[in-house]
C-alpha cells in the first residue's frame, strides 16, 4: 500500500455504532451468513459463536491495522488469512478448554470462522486503511452487530422451536414446539422474515426503495 | 445401507445432508452467483473441481501432520492449500476458457473463502475418512453444491418475470426460497435411517 496515507477522519461515536445497526454485517451487508444460520438454533449457541467471532474480528483487525505499513500489497490477502487462522486456532482451543459440551455443539463451525467473509472483508476494507484505534473500535462495533443478529435469530428460533429462551421455559408445557424452526429450513425462513421486516420498516421510514446490492455480497477487492 | 460405504457417503453429502441446504456451507456464492443458470453451472463446476483437488491434498497433508504431531497447524495448512488450488483453477481457466474466466469474475478468487471447501476438508478429518471415502465425500459435496445453486438459479430466473412487492427485494426473497428448498430436502432425511 502507498505510504502517503490520506488525512484520516477523527475517531467518532459513528465508527462504533455504524456496525451495530446502520451497516449491520448480517442484515445490511449479508456477510458471514454460514455461521449465522448454522449455529443459531438456540440463544446460548448464538452468544458463544458471537463471542468467538468478536474475539477473532477484534484481534485480527488490530494486528492487520498495526502491520498495515509492512505488509506488501501482493501478498496481503494471504497474510490476512494466516493472521485470522492463527486467532481462530486460539479460539478453537480456548473453547475446547472452557466447555467441551459447547465445543461439541458448535462443531466445525468454530474453525470455519476462518472463512467468514465478514472478518476478511473488514481486514481488507477497513483495518488495512485505518489507524489502530479506529480499527479496533470499528471491529468491536461490527462484532457486536454480528452478535446482535445472531441472537435475534437464535431467540426467535429457540422460542418457537422449543418454547424456551436460554433454556428457561417461556411458553406453557402445552405449547407444541415448531420443530421446523430448529431444523435447517427454520434458519432460512427466520432470516428471510427479519429481512422482510427490516425492508418494510426502512421503506416506511424513507418512502423509497433500498438499493439492490445483491451482486456485491462478500466482495473483497482483489488485484 | 452401510454408513461407511462409498455410495452412502456420496449420497449423504449430495442429498441427505446437502452442504448448502442442510449444513449451511457455501451460502455466499449460493446467494451471490445464483442469478443466472449459466453462471451458476460454471461456478458449481469450478467449486466442485477445487473441492476435489483440495480434499485429496488435505488427506495427504493431514497424514503428514499426524505423523509429526502438528495437528494445531491443520487449519492454517488447509487454508494455504485451498488458496493455492484456487490459484491453479484460475490459471487453467484463464488459459483455456477466458470467457468463463471473465464471467466468474470476482467470485473465482472468492472460492477461497467458500466455507463449503474448508468444510469438506474439516469434516473428512473429523470423521476419519480414508482416502477413497474422502474422494467420494468431496465429489458428493461438489455435486450437492451444484444441485442447490442451479435449482436456486432456475427459481430466480422465473421470479424475474413476476411482479413482486417492494419489500421482497435484495436477499429477503432468496432466503425464503432457500427455506422452502431446504424443507423439500428434509424429505431425503429418511434415506439415512433405513440402514
Poorest-confidence range of A18-22, A145-149, B143-147? Answer: A18-22
The alpha carbon of A116 is separated from its chain's Cα centroid by a whole number of angstroms, namely 8
Instruction: Provide the mean pLDDT of chain B.
Output: 84
Q: Name the residue range of residue A23's domain.
A: 16-156
Q: Is A195 domain-assigned?
A: no
Query: Has residue A211 got a pLDDT over 50?
Result: no
User: In the structure, what pLDDT confidence band is assigned to residue B73 with cuts at 50, 70 and 90?
Assistant: confident
C-alpha grid cell for residue B144? 450437492
Per-residue pLDDT, A5: 46
Per-residue pLDDT, B147: 92
Widest Cα–Cα separation across chain B = 60
Q: Is A192 domain-assigned?
A: no
Q: Is A194 domain-assigned?
A: no
C-alpha grid cell for residue A133? 484505534
Poorest-confidence range of A36-45, A124-133, A173-182? Answer: A173-182
pLDDT digits (tens, 9 = 90+) for B7-27: 888 888 888 888 888 888 888
pLDDT digits (tens, 9 = 90+) for A175-201: 778 888 888 888 888 988 888 888 888
The verdict on A71 touching B (C-beta cutoff 8 Å) is no
Per-residue pLDDT, A1: 39
Q: Is A196 domain-assigned?
A: no
The answer to whether the Cβ–Cβ distance between A34 and B25 falls below 8 Å is: yes
Query: Has residue A15 got a pLDDT over 80?
Result: no
- In this complex, the residue of A88, A108, A217 whose CB is nearest that of residue B123 is A108
DSSP 3-state of A67: coil
Nearest CA-CA distance, residue A192 and chain B, Å: 5
Q: Is A3 domain-assigned?
A: no
Poorest-confidence range of A126-130, B58-62, B134-138? Answer: A126-130
| CB proximity under 8 Å: B 97-136 to A | 106, 109-110, 112-115, 118-119, 122-123, 126
User: In the structure, what pLDDT confidence band is assigned to residue A27 with cuts at 50, 70 and 90?
Assistant: confident
CA torsion sign for A150, A153, A155, A161 is negative
Q: What is the DSSP secondary structure assignment for residue A6, as one 8-state letter?
A: P
C-alpha grid cell for residue B18? 446437502
| CB proximity under 8 Å: B 21-60 to A | 21-28, 31-32, 35
Per-residue pLDDT, B192: 62
Determine what percent of chain A is predicted with pLDDT higher than 70.
Answer: 87
Q: Is A20 domain-assigned?
A: yes
Quote the number of domains for chain A: 1
Q: Is A126 domain-assigned?
A: yes
Instruction: Provide the mean pLDDT of chain A.
Output: 80
Query: Has residue A38 got a pLDDT over 90?
Result: no
Instruction: Look up cell 488525512; give the residue.
Output: A7
Query: Has residue A94 got a pLDDT over 70?
Result: yes
Mean pLDDT of all residues in A31-47: 83
Helix (H) or strand (E) holding A184: helix A184-206
- In this complex, the residue of B28, B169, B176 whose CB is nearest that of residue A189 is B176
C-alpha torsion angle, residues A104, A109, A110, A111 (rounded to 10): 110
The verdict on A128 touching B (C-beta cutoff 8 Å) is no
Instruction: Look up cell 481462530; give the residue.
Output: A88
pLDDT digits (tens, 9 = 90+) for B76-102: 888 888 888 888 888 888 888 888 788
The answer to whether the Cβ–Cβ distance between A184 and B168 falls below 8 Å is: no
Query: Has residue A167 got a pLDDT over 80?
Result: no
C-alpha grid cell for residue A34? 454460514
The answer to whether the Cβ–Cβ distance between B112 and A37 falls below 8 Å is: no
ipTM of the complex as predicted: 0.81
Per-residue pLDDT, A58: 93
Q: Is A219 domain-assigned?
A: no
Amino acid at each position: 500500500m502507498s505510504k502517503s496515507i490520506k488525512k484520516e477522519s477523527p475517531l467518532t461515536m459513528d465508527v462504533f455504532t455504524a456496525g451495530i445497526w446502520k451497516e449491520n454485517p448480517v442484515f445490511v451487508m449479508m456477510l458471514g451468513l454460514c455461521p449465522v444460520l448454522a449455529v443459531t438454533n438456540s440463544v446460548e449457541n448464538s452468544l458463544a459463536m458471537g463471542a468467538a467471532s468478536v474475539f477473532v474480528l477484534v484481534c485480527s483487525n488490530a494486528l492487520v491495522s498495526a502491520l498495515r505499513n509492512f505488509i506488501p500489497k501482493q501478498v496481503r490477502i494471504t497474510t490476512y488469512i494466516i493472521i485470522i487462522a492463527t486467532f481462530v486456532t486460539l479460539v478453537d482451543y480456548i473453547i475446547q478448554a472452557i466447555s467441551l459440551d459447547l465445543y461439541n455443539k458448535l462443531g466445525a463451525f468454530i474453525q470455519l470462522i476462518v472463512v467468514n467473509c465478514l472478518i476478511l472483508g473488514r481486514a481488507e476494507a477497513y483495518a488495512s486503511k485505518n489507524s489502530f484505534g479506529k480499527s479496533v473500535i470499528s471491529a468491536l462495533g461490527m462484532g457486536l452487530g454480528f452478535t446482535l443478529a445472531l441472537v435475534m435469530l437464535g431467540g426467535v428460533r429457540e422460542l418457537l422451536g422449543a418454547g424456551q429462551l436460554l433454556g428457561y421455559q417461556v411458553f406453557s408445557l402445552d405449547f407444541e414446539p415448531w420443530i421446523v424452526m430448529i431444523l435447517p429450513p427454520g434458519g432460512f425462513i427466520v432470516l428471510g422474515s427479519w429481512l422482510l421486516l427490516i425492508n418494510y420498516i426502512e421503506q416506511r421510514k424513507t418512502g423509497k426503495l433500498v438499493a439492490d446490492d445483491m451482486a456485491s455480497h462478500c466482495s473483497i477487492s482483489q488485484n | 445401507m452401510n454408513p461407511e460405504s462409498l455410495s452412502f457417503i456420496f449420497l449423504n453429502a449430495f442429498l441427505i445432508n446437502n452442504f448448502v441446504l442442510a449444513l449451511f456451507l457455501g451460502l455466499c456464492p449460493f446467494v451471490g452467483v445464483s442469478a443466472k443458470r449459466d453462471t451458476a453451472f460454471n461456478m458449481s463446476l469450478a467449486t466442485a473441481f477445487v473441492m476435489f483437488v483440495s480434499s485429496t491434498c488435505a488427506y495427504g497433508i493431514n497424514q503428514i501432520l499426524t505423523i509429526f504431531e502438528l495437528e494445531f497447524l491443520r487449519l492454517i495448512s488447509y487454508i494455504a492449500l485451498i488458496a493455492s488450488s484456487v490459484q491453479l483453477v484460475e490459471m487453467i481457466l484463464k488459459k483455456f476458457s477466458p470467457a468463463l474466466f471473465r464471467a466468474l469474475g470476482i467470485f473465482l478468487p472468492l472460492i477461497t473463502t467458500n466455507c463449503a471447501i474448508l468444510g469438506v476438508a474439516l469434516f473428512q478429518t473429523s470423521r476419519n475418512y480414508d482416502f477413497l471415502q474422502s474422494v467420494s465425500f468431496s465429489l458428493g459435496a461438489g455435486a450437492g453444491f451444484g444441485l442447490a445453486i442451479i435449482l436456486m438459479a432456475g427459481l430466480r430466473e422465473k421470479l424475474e418475470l413476476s411482479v413482486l412487492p417492494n419489500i421482497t427485494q435484495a436477499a429477503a426473497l432468496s432466503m425464503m426460497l432457500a427455506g422452502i428448498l431446504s424443507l423439500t430436502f428434509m424429505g431425503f432425511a429418511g434415506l439415512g435411517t433405513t440402514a
